Amino acid sequence: MHELSIVASVVDTVTESLEALPDASKGARVLQVRLRVGVLASVVVESLEFCWGIATEGTSLEGSKLVVKTIPVVMHCAVCDADVKLEGVQSFRCPRCDEPCSDLLQGRELEIESFEIDDEAGLEKAGNEEIGVSG
């Protein structure tokens, strides 16, 4: 399952980030992981959430919550000279002038926005790390 390999990569990335923390934070548990997923990333959010419980079992992330933020498609329309948000992914035409757009600005994201650990330091940020999954 595609989604299972994605969540496995997320678990790996967060685990590596935990290991890189100062000694004081060793053994901290992860409370919440936030992902940014573009609507063009071909990912089923419900499947991610379903796989999360399986992939985190027996790791520092066990029992944590997965929060998925869906990123809409934004393109730059050369005709309007404006960034336009597309309502759907069926048509890649500018909603203002109906010209086709090809300059995709966002919508393919698949990255960890941040994660939160149970630690004195509070919120630990993992700066928008790309998740190493192809396809």
Give me the residues that bind Zn ion (CB under 5 A), please: 77, 79-80, 94, 96-97
In the complex, minimum distance from the CB of residue 90 to Zn ion, in angstroms, rounded to a whole number: 17
The answer for residues whose C-beta is within 8 angstroms of residue 80's C-beta and 6 or more apart is 94, 96, 97
In the complex, minimum distance from the CB of residue 82 to Zn ion, in angstroms, rounded to a whole number: 7
Confirm if 113 and 79 have CB atoms less than 8 A apart: no
CB of 44 or CB of 78, closer to Zn ion = 78
CB of 105 or CB of 123, closer to Zn ion = 105
For residue 4, the SS3 value is helix
Strand partners, 33: 66, 115
Q: How far from chain centre, in Å, is Cα 25?
A: 24
In the complex, minimum distance from the CB of residue 91 to Zn ion, in angstroms, rounded to a whole number: 13
CB of 26 or CB of 85, closer to Zn ion = 85
In the complex, minimum distance from the CB of residue 44 to Zn ion, in angstroms, rounded to a whole number: 31
CB of 37 or CB of 77, closer to Zn ion = 77
Q: Name the DSSP class of 24.
A: G
Alpha-carbon span 70 to 123, nearest angstrom: 21
